[in-house]
């Protein structure tokens, strides 16, 4: 095992040795390998550099299986699996690097070669599939891991963390490709059970993992997938968030600082607890109901660091028993939750699955049963559950009055002309955020319910509308407005006789003119939208 005496590799070496296997504990430093193997039956040390020449070494040793637990896998190439393939030696790794795991299938091998046998994507994808079972449409998958502050990790983990801080992270949001940034978009995540057991709310931030590439194409509806990670102590996450900005702005890398991260972490080792957590949330439609299915795991007594090794131990046993089919692949579809259960029971690890019903779409909450009488295109566009999007075309006309131009510029309305249009929808806690992208010119508004009215917010301005069904279409009629919460005279309000309907091609059609008393036209945009699948 490469990296067999490291943070996770050491745990896996012990687990396999205790199961009766002979484990060759390999690494760059013979002294550390020897120290690790001392007093551990079934283990013997060996010098090996995963970045060096391995084919001759493997030919001499002829292992039944090579496990790479060394890392870091970022920008490492496939030197190790290629050496294994050349000698028909099965291969397994604990990689969590997105590019490395997602690209393993490009190799050729006549023996099992499995990448990503760790918390991600092996466990996380198994959980997501379990939660999505029976759903006719999955709109979003959100996962997070929070590690105990007392969970010691090796230098390769530190390198992986710092390699991603502030770096671009390709995401799928709003029905299309988007970009986040490592260790940004922070939020507090709940790690709790129905019986009250809880880790409380912990800070987590965007992390780049294989699931972001693998899950959208493997789940019905091509959902938005987000993964966040964090440490137990909030100030550590805040520090990484702060340094992520200069990395994002100036394109520098923190990877050379990895050697200092572990010593700094050890200075705070006495703080925090020995409890780690993981949560996976899947949003979708099951038997006609809008639901969130949530899986929560809490590890206590310092057993959290064992979790990244469990999938590798299970798959190693299968490979050695001849129970794995040949060929290279990621571990995202290799295991089920049931495969992990025996190990969870032996450790201080509990997990729980809950289903939480989700409210009706915002527009239906405002309109009641009238919403159900709208045409399918209008109902479908407003059926937002956590994430959604639609693309189409818009024609924009702008007013010529200087005040109209000033208002349009302040809000971010697009220039006059023909535009490719994409609208992203994000829903949370009864509020929807609409981001309209007119050929690169974006403006955003937030919508919520107030009694039987829809409230749309542009910065400090709030506009109240009633939603009126006209035939099978929809009309928005303004009933009031305010700025910084101060009501303003309706006579001075912008006029917007906005309408939505379905065109002859079955597409969502919109017509939104906005005028201002004494000023005239500010902007008028009209066109059509369809969801990503064209339905």
Q: Tell me the per-residue pLDDT of 285-320, one tens digit each, with 9 for 90 and over.
A: 999 999 999 999 999 999 999 999 999 999 999 999
Q: Are residues 514 and 460 in the same domain?
A: yes
115-169 pLDDT, tens digit per residue, is 999 999 999 999 999 999 999 999 999 999 999 987 756 667 777 788 899 999 9
**Burial, 108: exposed, middle or buried (Cβ in 10 Å; 0-12, 13-18, 19+)?**
exposed
Helix axes 155-164, 7-18, angle to 10 degrees: 130
CA-to-CA distance for 228 and 141, rounded, in angstroms?
A: 11
Distances (CA, A) of 148 to 230, 301, 361, 424: 9, 10, 37, 35
Q: Do the strands 441-450 and 431-438 form a parallel or antiparallel pair, or are they unpaired?
A: antiparallel
- DSSP designation for 196: S
Q: Are residues 352 and 382 in the same domain?
A: no
Predicted local distance difference test score (pLDDT) of residue 270: 76
* Structural contact between residues 219 and 132, judged by C-beta atoms closer than 8 angstroms: yes
Q: Do the strands 473-483 and 486-488 form a parallel or antiparallel pair, or are they unpaired?
A: antiparallel
Predicted local distance difference test score (pLDDT) of residue 207: 96
Residue 486 inside a domain? The answer is: yes
Strands (E), 451-472: 453-458, 461-470
Number of domains in the chain: 2
Residue 292 inside a domain? The answer is: yes
CA-to-CA distance for 124 and 127, rounded, in angstroms?
A: 5
Predicted local distance difference test score (pLDDT) of residue 410: 87
Q: Are residues 353 and 386 in the same domain?
A: no
CA-to-CA distance for 430 and 443, rounded, in angstroms?
A: 21
Predicted local distance difference test score (pLDDT) of residue 67: 98
Residue 282 inside a domain? The answer is: yes
* Structural contact between residues 469 and 501, judged by C-beta atoms closer than 8 angstroms: no
CATH of the domain at 417: 2.40.128.20
Q: Are residues 298 and 386 in the same domain?
A: no
Residue 76 inside a domain? The answer is: no
Quote the tokens at residue 82.
């290629």
Q: Are residues 287 and 412 in the same domain?
A: no
Which residues make Cβ contacts (< 8 Å) with residue 15, sequence separation at least 6? 309, 313
Q: Are residues 257 and 397 in the same domain?
A: no
Q: Are residues 211 and 259 in the same domain?
A: yes
CA-to-CA distance for 88 and 63, rounded, in angstroms?
A: 10
Positions in the chain short of pLDDT 50: 534-535
Quote the tokens at residue 368.
């009641």
Which residues constitute the domain of residue 412? 362-530
Q: Are residues 295 and 368 in the same domain?
A: no
Query: Which of 146, 142, 314 lies closest to 215 in space, CA to CA?
Result: 142
**Burial, 185: exposed, middle or buried (Cβ in 10 Å; 0-12, 13-18, 19+)?**
middle
**Burial, 513: exposed, middle or buried (Cβ in 10 Å; 0-12, 13-18, 19+)?**
middle
Query: Which of 42, 38, 41, 52 lies closest to 2 in space, CA to CA?
Result: 52
């Amino acid at each position: 095992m490469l990296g067999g005496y490291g943070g996770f590799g050491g745990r896996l070496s012990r687990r396999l040795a205790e199961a009766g296997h002979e484990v060759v504990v390999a690494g760059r430093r013979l002294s550390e390998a020897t120290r690790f193997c001392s007093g551990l039956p079934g283990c013997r040390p060996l010098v090996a550099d995963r970045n060096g020449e391995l084919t001759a070494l493997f030919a001499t040793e002829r292992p039944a299986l090579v496990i790479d637990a060394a890392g870091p896998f970022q920008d490492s190439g496939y030197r190790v699996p290629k050496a294994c393939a050349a000698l028909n030696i099965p291969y397994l790794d604990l990689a969590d690097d997105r590019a490395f795991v997602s690209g393993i299938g490009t190799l050729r091998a006549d023996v099992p070669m499995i990448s990503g046998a760790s918390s991600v994507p092996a466990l996380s994808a198994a959980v997501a599939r379990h939660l999505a079972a029976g759903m006719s449409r999955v709109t979003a998958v959100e996962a997070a891991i929070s590690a105990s502050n007392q969970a010691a990790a090796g230098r390769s983990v530190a390198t992986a963390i710092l390699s991603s801080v502030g770096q671009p992270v390709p995401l799928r949001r709003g029905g299309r490709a988007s970009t986040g940034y490592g260790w940004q978009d922070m939020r507090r995540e709940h790690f709790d059970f129905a019986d009250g057991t809880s880790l409380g709310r912990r800070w987590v931030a965007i992390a780049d993992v294989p699931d972001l590439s693998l899950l959208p194409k493997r789940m019905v509806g091509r959902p938005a997938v987000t993964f966040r990670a964090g440490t137990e102590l909030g100030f550590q996450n805040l520090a990484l968030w702060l340094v992520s900005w200069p990395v994002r702005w100036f394109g520098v890398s923190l990877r050379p600082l990895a050697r200092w991260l572990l010593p700094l972490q050890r200075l705070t080792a006495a703080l925090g607890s020995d409890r780690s957590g993981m949560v996976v949330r899947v949003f979708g439609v099951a038997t006609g109901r809008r639901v969130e299915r949530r899986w929560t795991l809490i590890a206590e007594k310092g057993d959290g660091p064992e979790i990244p090794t469990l999938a590798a131990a299970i798959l190693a046993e299968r490979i050695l028993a001849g129970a794995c089919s040949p060929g290279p692949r990621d571990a995202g579809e290799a295991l089920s939750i049931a495969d992990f259960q025996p190990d969870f029971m032996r450790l201080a690890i509990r997990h729980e699955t809950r289903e939480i019903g989700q409210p009706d779409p915002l527009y239906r909450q405002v309109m009641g049963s009238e919403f159900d009488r709208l045409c399918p295109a209008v109902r479908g566009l407003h059926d937002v559950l956590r994430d959604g999007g639609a693309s189409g075309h818009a024609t924009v006309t702008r007013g010529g009055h200087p005040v109209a131009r000033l208002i349009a510029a302040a809000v971010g309305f697009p220039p006059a002309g023909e535009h490719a249009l994409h609208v992203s929808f994000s829903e949370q806690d009864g509020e929807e955020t609409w981001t309209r992208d007119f050929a690169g010119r974006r403006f955003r508004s937030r919508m919520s319910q107030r009694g039987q009215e829809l409230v749309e917010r542009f910065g400090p301005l709030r506009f109240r509308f009633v939603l009126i069904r006209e035939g099978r279409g929809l009309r928005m009629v303004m009933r009031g407005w305010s700025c910084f919460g101060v009501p303003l005279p309706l006579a001075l309000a912008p006029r917007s006789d906005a309408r939505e309907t379905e065109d002859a091609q079955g597409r969502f059609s919109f017509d939104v003119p906005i005028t201002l008393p004494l000023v005239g036209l500010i902007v008028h945009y009209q066109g059509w939208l369809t969801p990503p699948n064209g339905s």
